[in-house]
Amino acid sequence: MALLAYTFALANDAPTRQMLLDKLFPLAVSSGGDLYWTYNLQSSGQYQPVSAAIEMSSYVLLALITSQSLKAEEILKASQIVSWLIKQQNSNGGFASTQDTVVAIQALAKYTRITFVPESILSVTVSAGQVSLKQFAVDKTNRLLFQTAQLPNIPGEYTLRITGTGCVYIQIVLKYNEMPVGNLAAFSISAKIENCGEDSAQRLVITASYIGSRTLSNMVLIEVEMLSGFQPSDNTAEKVKDSR
């Protein structure tokens, strides 16, 4: 329905677009002022990965703001979807997968174009308690620039004070490293050479097994290169194909 709603919006079929949106919004998840869509698998009851929710919500946003005239309530709903979408972004600006990143960036870009204020002037002040740490000035000369500041104390309590007119995107990123716990190897592989006793022929025996925690390993590719000075015998490919 989300994809169809956007399709009919592009086709300027406003009644069908509105009919689909009217069916979609009762199915939305509303939490803390955010609005998004997700679904679960009927067979297992498990939720789909967040990438599915990002893609669906992005298509609803695109359908909602693709209109000849937008109402105030539609802008409000769009802002609630945007609020949820930007919380799903990673530190590089992408999302969970390639596909949902493409659709989400398209939706956010279109929303930005609609809500764009040409003469916006904003001041963003980052403070720790009563101490001002950094002040960002955002205007038409630098509004496309990426400005950063490093927070001195982690953990810590910080406040943001924004003054002016316009829209600014603020993201806080926390990165850390941790030691791996236990043996995280998923595969075991060994190789040995056996003398066949036929001229200078040698047999390379490779043993590989999956030792990970999952039931199945999914697809695995093992690449074997010849030692310098050797070449595979004519029936090597057939032996590999028939091996279990």
Q: Is residue 172, in this structure, part of any structural domain at all?
A: no
* Polymer length of the chain: 244
The alpha-helical segments, DSSP class H, found in 87-161 are: 98-114
| 26 and 97 assigned to the same domain | yes
Q: How many domains does the chain have?
A: 3
| 99 and 203 assigned to the same domain | no
Q: Is residue 59, in this structure, part of any structural domain at all?
A: yes
Given the structure tokens 């204020």, which residue do they identify?
Answer: 117
5, 8, 49, 43: which is closest to 27 by C-alpha? 5
**What is the domain range of residue 132?**
121-165
Share of the chain above pLDDT 90, in %: 44
| 47 and 105 assigned to the same domain | yes
CA–CA separation, 110 and 227 (whole Å): 56
**Mean predicted confidence (pLDDT) in 206-225:** 83
| 89 and 9 assigned to the same domain | yes
Q: pLDDT, tens digit, for every residue of 157-214?
A: 999 999 998 888 888 888 888 887 776 788 899 988 887 766 677 888 888 888 887 8
| 82 and 161 assigned to the same domain | no
Q: Is residue 178, in this structure, part of any structural domain at all?
A: no
Q: Is residue 16, in this structure, part of any structural domain at all?
A: yes
| 129 and 102 assigned to the same domain | no
Q: Is residue 62, in this structure, part of any structural domain at all?
A: yes
| 20 and 109 assigned to the same domain | yes
Q: Is residue 180, in this structure, part of any structural domain at all?
A: no
| 9 and 59 assigned to the same domain | yes
CA of 154: how far to CAs of 128, 151, 158, in Å?
11, 7, 10
Q: pLDDT, tens digit, for every residue of 20-76?
A: 999 999 999 999 999 999 876 554 444 446 888 999 999 999 999 999 888 889 999
Q: Is residue 177, in this structure, part of any structural domain at all?
A: no
CA of 232: how far to CAs of 79, 147, 190, 199, 240, in Å?
63, 57, 19, 14, 11
- Determine whether 118 is exposed, middle or buried from the number of CB atoms within 10 Å of its CB (0-12, 13-18, 19+): exposed
Return the DSSP state at 224.
-
Please name every residue paired with 207 in a beta bridge, in sequence order, or none if there are none.
Answer: 190
Main-chain dihedrals φ then ψ at residue 17, nearest 5 degrees: -60, -45
Pairing of strands 34-36, 29-31: antiparallel
Main-chain dihedrals φ then ψ at residue 73, nearest 5 degrees: -70, -30
Average pLDDT, the chain: 87
| 34 and 8 assigned to the same domain | yes
Main-chain dihedrals φ then ψ at residue 218, nearest 5 degrees: 70, -165
Pairing of strands 187-195, 159-165: unpaired
